[in-house]
Structure 1
Amino acid sequence: METVASVTRMRLVGGSLALDFVNTRSGPPVGPPDDDVLTGYPELVAWGVYAGALAEPEAAALRRMSRDDPGAAHSVLARSLRIRDCLDEVFRPLTAGRSPSTSALARLRDDEAEALGHARLTPGSPFTWTWRNDTGLARPLWPVVHAAVLLLTTGTLDRIKGCGGCRFVFNDESKNRSRRWCSMDDCGTDQKMRRYVVARRRRTTG
């Protein structure tokens, strides 16, 4: 079972807050996931801090609120998992050059409308969206949803890819769009080792 400490051991390789949220569920590239770091509301908050969606003072306040109202915290966790399912339905087809379903896009639209209801436009160059601190236990979700919409509306969709060695998705920011792995330190190295073993076996038996 994953713990709060386990959250900070996952690699943030998505290149987008939304894709890193999808990647909180891991497993092989084909088939169902086999691991999940979002096993409770404390893990959701810990991930928010780790991924940069929350500042530590915000996280501390959310932890206190969740202890005071565990039922509401459980409901928000369930909602976070539904949002993650929605983002998976939106982005995973794009990794294969297909369009997301209209129903998944409609759910994301509704989530974005709610998220922006908890945001403010902050002056700068350019202006940016920031998130109010009084939005309740669902505060970790709003920047994730907004990041998903920004990626869809301002990103280059053919750069959204799936790892060749696991189920992680990522935004390929390489110059020649040649990235194949979530991380060369993980899946890339594993695949290189497999190819080396196969080639060595062929030379030995050839």
Structure 2
Amino acid sequence: MRSIASLQLDGGCPVFDFTNTISNRNDPDYFDYLTKYNDFIQWSEKIGLLSKGRIHAISIFYESHVRKSADTLRQVVEAREVIFTLFSSLAQHRKADKGAMDAFNGLLSEALSNMRIDVGRTEVTTSFAVSEKTILKEPLYLLIKNAFDILSSQSFERIKECPTCRWLFLDTTKNGKRRWCNMQVCGSNDKARRYYHRKKESTNPA
């Protein structure tokens, strides 16, 4: 049975694991792992996006603001699709989709306007203004910041999209030749499918 607990994390970074909360984008009957706001919180905890203290605080707020949480989930899912569309264009070596780029800039502006940094002697930590208006979006703001960091620091050649399921991933291999999000799952399925078609063609020549 599919669940947040069983969801694989093959994106190589938080924001790609976020866009990959759909089972298979090539399948019209895909499974969406984010159908309730609590799913988003469980997923954020699974990947270590927030401290346990922040997860607990957001969970408490969520439990007493169910209607607001449902509206926030809608915005979270919309943001996920904006981010996917933007990075999918780059993974396919196409010019970034203008609509997605404009929408992402809006998301980025909101996230950064709520962001705070604390400069210590050896490190900089990031946090967000905590209020009833922003608390449910705190995980999303972190993901938008992560997307910005990738856009501004990673070679676009390392941003890839799995041909089998369309999951996004960062190719961190030395030679940059990684093809699938997961060799054991999508890689094996793709090879089996190609073998089947070759076998079928050899036994049924035109």
Q: TM-score, normalised by structure 1?
A: 0.86
Residues 14 and 182 in structure 1, CA contact (< 8 A), matched pair in contact too:
yes
Letter in 1 for 2:179: R
For residues 28-67 of structure 1, what are the alpha-carbon distances to aligned partners after superposition, in whole Å with 9 as ceiling and x for unaligned?
54x6461110010000101111122122221222111111
Is 1:45 aligned to 2:41, yes or no?
A: yes
For structure 2, which runs of at least 5 residues remain unmatched after alignment? none
Equivalent of 2:100, from 97, 104, 110? 104
Is the deviation greater in 142-151 or in 117-126?
117-126
The verdict on how the C-alpha distance between 1:194 and 1:175 changes in structure 2, with shifts beyond 3 A counting, is same
3-state SS of 1:7 partner: coil
The verdict on how the C-alpha distance between 1:125 and 1:164 changes in structure 2, with shifts beyond 3 A counting, is farther
- Structure 1: how far apart are the matches of 2:160 and 2:28? 18
For residues 71-126 of structure 1, what are the alpha-carbon distances to aligned partners after superposition, in whole Å with 9 as ceiling and x for unaligned?
11011101101101110120111111002122321221221222123322232587
How many aligned residue pairs are there?
A: 202
Is the deviation greater in 167-176 or in 38-47?
167-176
Q: TM-score, normalised by structure 2?
A: 0.86
For residues 117-151 of structure 1, what are the alpha-carbon distances to aligned partners after superposition, in whole Å with 9 as ceiling and x for unaligned?
33222325875451237241111101100111111
Letter in 2 for 1:15: G
Is 1:92 aligned to 2:105, yes or no?
A: no
Is 1:164 aligned to 2:163, yes or no?
A: yes
Residues 25 and 33 in structure 1, CA contact (< 8 A), matched pair in contact too:
no
Instruction: Name 1:136's counterpart in structure 2.
Output: 135
For structure 1, which runs of at least 5 residues remain unmatched after alignment? none
Percent identical: 29
